[in-house]
Chains A and B, each alone.
Chain A
Amino acid sequence: MEKDKVPQDTSNLTKNNVKELLYATDENGNYTTTLSTGWEPKTIALSNSIDEINERIAEAKQQVLNGEVSPISYYMEVNKMDLTILSSYVGMWKWRVKRHFKPAIFAKLSDSILKKYADAFNISISELKNFKTD
């Protein structure tokens, strides 16, 4: 890619004033580096996954409100985790974490177990227990 063709699109990087470095060729065909503020195809790909995550969060929230799953499942989505990542953060087997997704089981969890989840989600135990609907 030639240096003057390096895209300078607005992206999620722009608002944080971050620029990425790219290798590109100068007018003599020699390689040099240049900065780019962003590139549209990447921005779309990223916002596509953000939308995907927000959908999953909304869905998990509704399921918690319907009493189908425990708040653990909701906070897992909020923190962009999946079962594998969450289970390694709390240091429990995946099947055990999955079991804690059940509201009835969740209601009976001890504070020491809840603390592991709260720490992984960076919230307090009471926040985890008292699910807010807003």
Chain B
Amino acid sequence: MQVTFTHHQSAHCENGVASNLLKNNGLNISEPMVFGIGSGLFFVYLPFIKVNYAPAISYRTLPGQIFNKVAARLNLKIKRQKFSSVVNANKALDENLKNNIPTGLQVGVYNLSYFPDEYRFHFNAHNLVVYGKTDKDYLISDPVMETVTTLTHEELDKVRFAKGAFAPRGQMYYPIQIPKDVDLKSAIIKGIKNTCRDMLAPMPIVGVRGIKFVSKQIRKWPIKHGTKKANHYLAQMVRMQEEIGTGGGGFRFIYAAFLQEASVILGNEELKELSKEMTKIGDSWRDFAVEASRIYKNRSAKEDAYNTIANELLDIANREEIFFKKLKKAIS
């Protein structure tokens, strides 16, 4: 049993699944467009939550939000279902495949056998598409992989019912209604406004202010926690920032690509300039990662080194503050 489905690799899983599912339903929308309209760019620092024994920093919105926002802004209807029993979850998925519907799933990463071992952590907000089934396997289109792949029936049960934070509970989703003509222009503007609001939010742990807050904390890490822990925190931060396209530089480049596309659709030259500026900010995020990696590579934590990267991060935050203020003006 196999459904017609074209796999496109993407930089980030949720954008990718959304874009792939929509393309498959005849709505040709790129990954950056999904990311921009769905306001995927975000920042929040949650020092009271620990992930892998380090404070949580998220560069993204909650799982599912990007696609939900895209749907609301383009007037699409998506069906989402969660399950309490494995049997029912399988039945619903098989039913969908029978009806020729490729289906998006939220899954845990830990049991994805096609990932390299080192990447298999208990992270539950990954997304993929199931587009077919054989006697022992499900046919999988995982947007961060170059080509399609498979998981055995047992493996798919495990990843759908992974436990812990953001447990997917078998969640599956698929578009059920797509209008013939979508109003990209208004959706783009809504998406941009939403991102500006998030990034300029007057809350100390969110957006630009959140980045500044982290910069302040980094200075204290080696004194407060000692070299080893400080290095661990920093390494975790870089992983959350740059791993498989979920934050920092990677996200800035997708956003810059979105602004470039948006400038053509809206006929707004200013957005093109802002796209270039965002690219530069993305480069600075990557420079920050390089500097940070020097610290935890040498395992020597001079206070100085921590101050240097904290300054770098502060500079990024200041530039993003100016950037999002300009962006807000450019579309109003």
Tell me the A residues contacting B by CB distance below 8 Å: 1, 12-13, 15-16, 18-25, 29-31, 33, 35, 39-42, 44-50, 52, 80-82, 84-85, 88-89
Query: Does B260 touch A at the CB level, under 8 Å?
Result: yes
For residue B11, which residues in chain A have a CB less than 8 angstroms away from its CB? 20-23, 33
B242 touches A41 (CB 8 A): yes
Query: Does B156 touch A at the CB level, under 8 Å?
Result: no
A29 touches B118 (CB 8 A): no
Knowing A23-B256, A39-B242, A88-B164 are in contact, say whether A52-B32 is a contact too (CB < 8 A): no
Q: What CA separation (Å) do A47 and B9 show in the bound complex?
A: 25
For residue B114, which residues in chain A have a CB less than 8 angstroms away from its CB? 16
A45 touches B116 (CB 8 A): no
Q: List residues of B (227-280) whose CB comes within 8 Å of A's CBs.
A: 231-232, 235-236, 238-239, 242-245, 249-250, 253-254, 256-257, 260-261, 275-276, 279
Q: What CA separation (Å) do A111 and B257 show in the bound complex?
A: 56
Q: List residues of B (116-134) whose CB comes within 8 Å of A's CBs.
A: 116, 118-122
Query: Does B178 touch A at the CB level, under 8 Å?
Result: no
A23 touches B253 (CB 8 A): yes
Contact of A49 among B32, B235, B244, B276 (CB under 8 A): B235
A20 touches B242 (CB 8 A): no
Name the segment of B60-68, B185-193, B205-213, B287-295 touching the other chain. B287-295
For residue A12, which residues in chain B have a CB less than 8 angstroms away from its CB? 116, 118-119
Residue pairs across A and B with Cβ atoms less than 8 A apart, 12 shown, are: A12-B119, A23-B32, A23-B257, A31-B32, A44-B293, A45-B243, A46-B119, A48-B296, A49-B232, A80-B121, A82-B53, A88-B163
For residue A22, which residues in chain B have a CB less than 8 angstroms away from its CB? 11, 245, 250, 253
Number of interface residues of B (CB under 8 A): 52
For residue A84, which residues in chain B have a CB less than 8 angstroms away from its CB? 164-165
If A18-B116, A31-B260 are given as contacts, then 19 extra A-B residue pairs at C-beta distance below 8 Å, sorted by A number, are A1-B253, A20-B245, A21-B245, A22-B11, A22-B245, A25-B279, A31-B256, A44-B235, A44-B293, A44-B297, A48-B296, A80-B121, A80-B122, A84-B165, A85-B122, A85-B163, A85-B164, A88-B164, A89-B163
Contact of B145 among A18, A31, A41, A46 (CB under 8 A): A18
For residue B292, which residues in chain A have a CB less than 8 angstroms away from its CB? 41
A29 touches B276 (CB 8 A): yes
A49 touches B236 (CB 8 A): yes
Q: Which residue of A lies closest to B108 (CB)?
A: A85
For residue B231, which residues in chain A have a CB less than 8 angstroms away from its CB? 48
A-B complex: 5 closest residue pairs judged by Cβ atoms: A41-B293, A31-B257, A88-B163, A23-B253, A48-B235
Q: What CA separation (Å) do A73 and B201 show in the bound complex?
A: 42
CB distance from A39 to the nearest CB of B (A): 7
Query: Does B52 touch A at the CB level, under 8 Å?
Result: yes
B245 touches A44 (CB 8 A): no
CB distance from A121 to the nearest CB of B (A): 12
Q: What CA separation (Å) do A16 and B11 show in the bound complex?
A: 18
Q: What CA separation (Å) do A78 and B279 show in the bound complex?
A: 40
Query: Does B303 touch A at the CB level, under 8 Å?
Result: no
Knowing A16-B116, A22-B253, A35-B146 are in contact, say whether A41-B10 is a contact too (CB < 8 A): no
Q: What CA separation (Å) do A80 and B162 show in the bound complex?
A: 14
CB distance from A84 to the nearest CB of B (A): 7
Q: What CA separation (Å) do A19 and B116 show in the bound complex?
A: 11
A42 touches B236 (CB 8 A): no
For residue B232, which residues in chain A have a CB less than 8 angstroms away from its CB? 48-49, 52
Q: What CA separation (Å) do A16 and B53 show in the bound complex?
A: 28
Q: Which residue of B lies closest to A39 (CB)?
A: B242
Query: Does B305 touch A at the CB level, under 8 Å?
Result: no
A20 touches B257 (CB 8 A): no
Q: What CA separation (Å) do A44 and B289 show in the bound complex?
A: 11
Q: What CA separation (Å) do A81 and B145 show in the bound complex?
A: 25
Query: Does B286 touch A at the CB level, under 8 Å?
Result: yes
B235 touches A45 (CB 8 A): yes
Q: What CA separation (Å) do A31 and B275 show in the bound complex?
A: 10
CB distance from B160 to the nearest CB of A (A): 14
A42 touches B289 (CB 8 A): yes
For residue A1, which residues in chain B have a CB less than 8 angstroms away from its CB? 249, 253, 279, 282-283, 286
